[in-house]
């Protein structure tokens, strides 16, 4: 797996702290820094997600993928799945994640709560590389709700 991240600030773009990531699979992801009121030339323009937000989003994608796949392999009728991640970060640099909570909402027909609980646990403990990596630094907790459709 590879990714090239390039600063776009020297390319005449609106943001002094914009970046474009080109993934090995051929996709592009834009990122931008937060505006800096005290030194605008060092801040972004809020034109795209912050880099740390993309870490959180990638982790959510990784674990939601696992949960859906585990439930489908169990022959459960999953119709929707989302995960809301909330986090806390250290106050001083490096501002690593210290706490992450993942709340899953799974919708489908006749899915037992125990199956969702198992899928979330398997993702969190065995399959999701991103959350397992982040758990080495941050306390990660999970919860879920099941919606019958």
| pTM metric for this prediction | 0.92
* Full pLDDT tens readout for the chain, 149 residues: 999 999 997 776 788 899 999 999 999 999 999 999 999 888 899 999 999 999 999 999 999 999 999 999 999 999 999 999 999 999 999 999 999 999 999 999 999 999 999 999 999 999 999 999 999 999 999 999 999 99
d(CA 137, CA 91): 14
Residue 4 has φ and ψ, to the nearest 5°, of -115, 125
* In the chain, % of residues over pLDDT 90: 91
Q: How far is CA 123 from CA 26, 40, 74, in A?
A: 26, 41, 14
First-to-last C-alpha distance (Å) of the chain: 38
Q: What's the pLDDT tens digit per position in 50-74? A: 999 999 999 999 999 999 999 999 9
């Amino acid at each position: 797996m590879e990714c090239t991240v390039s600063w776009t600030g020297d390319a005449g773009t609106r943001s002094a702290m914009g970046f474009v990531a080109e993934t090995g699979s051929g996709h592009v992801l834009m990122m931008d820094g937060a505006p800096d009121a005290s030194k605008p030339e060092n801040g972004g323009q809020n034109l795209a997600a912050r880099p740390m937000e993309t870490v959180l989003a990638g982790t959510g994608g990784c674990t939601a993928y696992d949960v859906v796949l585990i439930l489908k392999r169990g022959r459960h009728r999953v119709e929707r799945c989302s995960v809301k991640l909330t986090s806390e970060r250290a106050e001083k640099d490096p501002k690593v994640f210290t706490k992450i909570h993942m709340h899953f909402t799974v919708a489908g027909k006749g899915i037992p709560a125990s199956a969702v609980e198992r899928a979330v646990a398997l993702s969190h403990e065995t399959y999701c590389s991103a959350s397992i990596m982040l758990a080495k630094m941050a306390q990660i907790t999970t919860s879920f709700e099941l919606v019958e459709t």
